[in-house]
Amino acid sequence: MNISRHLRDFFVPDARNNYTPHAVSHRNLSFYAGLMFSVKLLTIFSLDLLPQNQAFSSALTQENVLQLTNYSRQAFGLSDLKANSELSKAALAKAQDMFKNQYFAHNSPLGLTPWDFIKAEGYNYIIAGENLAVNFYTSESLESAWMNSPEHKANILNKDFQDIGIGIFSGTLKGLKATVVVQMFGSVMDQPITMQNSFTTKQVILTPEQKVFIPTPQKISLATPFLESPDYSLTNKKVFSLKGFAPGADTVYVLINHEAVASIPVVQGKFSIDLNLSEGSSIVNVVSFKNGIESSPISKTLTIQLDTSAPNVSEANILPSSQGEYIVEVQTQGDAAKVLANLGDKNIFLQPTQDPNVWQGKFVGSLEELQGKLSVSAYDLAGNAKISAVANLAVDAVDTYGFMAEKDYKVSLVGQIFSLNAVNQFYIYFVLFLLAALGVSIGVKRHVQNLGLIAHTSAMVVVALIFWVT
């Protein structure tokens, strides 16, 4: 009985509630407004400001990062890395340089490589490696992300690395506050390097059982090997032909990402090898030897970027802009460098907008002339391409045509992770609740109405709808 009475007082105007249902009272409507604003603000702050990884609480320090790195190595039966002051100085210098010159990459806009920073601190390495990360706030989340990335994991679990340096620096990067972490790995010249089989050469086929060691040179007297390839190559071919000259040498050792992978003979001062590349960036160097005693300095660095993934079209729309003109707007995912739109027998190249992932172009003609299937082709610099069929344009069709890839974002509210779409649905349910409450209030006691409450409730419905669409 009490529940029934409370429900009636909540929704139905009556003398007991002064003909003002509690559901749409001024007090409760003010509470609803505060609730909606709070949800909206929490959603915005969750999307834009909260770090992505907050599962654990240990501080992001050099000591914690080193400890977790060595825990990962121990799990795979590898020896611990030792903190090296020279590598630590190099890592910190690299982190500071990224903020100074506003970039986040292994190579700086001025052409400095990670190895330049290492050499500047006097670390005389035979192999070295670098891991980068930005905007992680705990050591555990950082280590987890690195161990879930094949390239970063390979550095952490490289059995030939013996030393490590860690640099952590915070500042403003491209207009946003950021924290950058740099890990630099290395082994000095007098430490033997185990060769790993990764490639088939034109002269030698390495089997998994073969292990080759780079000898410790007695003197560095040979000329630096010359590589014919440009310093940077972008390709979608998985096999890369490396050629060069090594005057006075009889053997060349190839290093990929600063790990020795093959030894090949030098014939009349020349050498060549076909490298089977992995997706992503490969850093290639060579060093030459004569009789296993004399060596050369390490060659220049080649960066070979293998990209076999074509850019995708995530959204495309065509809509009339004026008489006889139709605007095509396309949103891409990936590194699109050229976007071509085709409609019937017409082709146009779209132009990038201020947003590098949004492209626009214009078809000129009547709707009858432009009938047909709209397709969009996205190309990247590596030569990959993908064609996406977007819509069929017909005379009896509506004015706007769209294809939308499914997109959803996650937000963190009251310690839980929710879909952004689910959060937005809250406003729809809230609108339905207010309309139902208002409908009952008006329908049951039509002769007793509070125009102020009706206006207040209607305003709340409008606000909820605005929050839903934004």
Is residue 324 domain-shared with residue 383, that is, in the same domain?
Answer: yes
CA–CA separation, 139 vs 68, rounded Å? Answer: 8
Q: Is residue 338 part of a domain?
A: yes
DSSP state of 22: G
Please check whether residue 149 lies inside any domain of the structure. Answer: yes
Nearest to 180 by CA among 189, 188, 171: 171
Instruction: Please tell me the total count of domains within the chain.
Output: 4
Which neighbouring-strand residues pair with 363?
326
Least confident among 253-267, 373-387, 420-434: 420-434
Residue 283 in 3-state DSSP? strand
- Give the residue, 208 or 320, on which the prediction is more confident: 320
In the predicted model, is pLDDT for residue 313 greater than 60?
Answer: yes
Q: Torsion over CA of 433, 439, 441 and 444, rounded to 10 degrees?
A: -140
Of 288, 306, 324, the domain-final residue: 306
Instruction: Kindly tell me if the per-residue pLDDT of 470 is higher than 90.
Output: no
Beta bridge partners of 53: none
Residues facing residue 312 across a β-bridge: 333
Distance CA 363, CA 318 (A): 9
- What are 441-450's pLDDT values in tens digits? 777 766 666 7
The listed range with the strongest mean pLDDT (28-37, 84-93, 150-159, 367-376) is 84-93
CA-closest candidate to residue 406, choices 342, 314, 321: 314
The per-residue pLDDT for 48 is 40
Q: Give the pLDDT confidence of 352-361 residue by residue, as tens digits.
A: 888 778 888 8
Question: Which of 233-237, 419-423, 434-438 has maximum average pLDDT?
Answer: 233-237
Residues 70 and 163 in one domain: yes
Which residue segment(s) compose the domain that 340 sits in? 312-389
74 plus 170 within the same structural domain: yes
pLDDT (0 to 100) of residue 250: 93
Question: 329 and 299 in one domain?
Answer: no
- Which CATH number fits the domain that encloses residue 270? 2.60.40.10
Looking at residues 12-41, what average pLDDT do you find?
Answer: 77
76 assigned to some structural domain: yes
Do 180 and 233 lie in one domain? The reply is no
Task: Please indicate, yes or no, whether residues 72 and 180 belong to a single structural domain of this protein.
Answer: yes
Q: Outline where DSSP puts E strands in 292-384.
A: 294-295, 302-306, 312-322, 325-333, 336-343, 346-349, 351-352, 358-364, 372-380
CB-based burial, 157-193: b 16+ in 10 Å, e otherwise:
bbebbbbbbbbbbeeebeeeebbbbbbbbbbeeebeb
- Within a domain: residue 24? no
Judged against a pLDDT cut of 60, whether residue 96 lies above it is answered with yes
Mean pLDDT is lowest, of 127-136, 217-226, 258-267, 309-318, for 309-318
Environment class of residue 136 by beta-carbon count within 10 Å: exposed (0-12), middle (13-18) or buried (19+)? Answer: buried
- Report which residue type is found at 1: M
Closest CA to 329 of 363, 366, 370: 363
End position of a domain, from candidates 276, 306, 336: 306
Q: Is 124 within a domain?
A: yes
Q: Is residue 204 part of a domain?
A: no
For position 235, what pLDDT does the model report?
A: 87
Helix or strand holding residue 387 (H, E): strand 385-393
Specify the pTM.
0.40
Q: Are residues 282 and 316 in the same domain?
A: no
Question: Cα–Cα distance between 224 and 245 in angstroms, integer?
Answer: 9
Average pLDDT score over the chain: 77
Q: Are residues 125 and 140 in the same domain?
A: yes
- Given 245, 275, 306, which residue is the final one in a domain? 306
In a domain, 131, yes or no: yes
Tens of pLDDT, residue by residue over 101-126, are 998 888 888 888 899 999 999 998 87
Is residue 30 one of the residues assigned to a domain? no
Taking residues 28-43, what's their average pLDDT? 79
pLDDT over 80 (residue 16) = no
Spatial neighbors of 87 by CB under 8 A, at least 6 apart, are: 118, 121, 123, 163, 164, 165, 184, 185, 186
Q: Do both 267 and 380 map to the same domain?
A: no
CATH number at residue 125: 3.40.33.10
Q: Do 317 and 302 sit in the same domain of this protein?
A: no
Residues 320 and 267 in one domain: no
Claim to verify: residue 444 and residue 424 sit in the same structural domain? yes
